Amino acid sequence: MADLYTTKQGDMWDAIALARMGSEMHMARLIEANPDHRETVVFSAGIELVIPKSEKQTETVLPPWK
């Protein structure tokens, strides 16, 4: 089951990505998960957006001396 977020007046992609996904760097994934709204810049209130699950990092890359 996907997480959902209901927008507030004035929400923008980068702020939603930061608040719900931890970084503005996830904005592209957020837009991909909500293609019907990809051309929206500033949201009105009451729009439900799908928040994609964060990708789990399965392997930790450590320096050779660790």
User: What confidence category does residue 57 fall into, taking pLDDT thresholds of 50, 70 and 90?
Assistant: very low
pLDDT tens figures, 12-49: 999 999 999 999 999 999 999 999 999 999 999 999 99
Architecture of domain 3-51: Roll (3.10)
- Cα separation of 33 and 61, whole Å? 28
- Domain boundaries along the sequence of the chain: 3-51
- How many helices (H) and strands (E) the chain has is answered by 2, 2
pTM, to two decimals: 0.78
3-state SS class at 32: helix
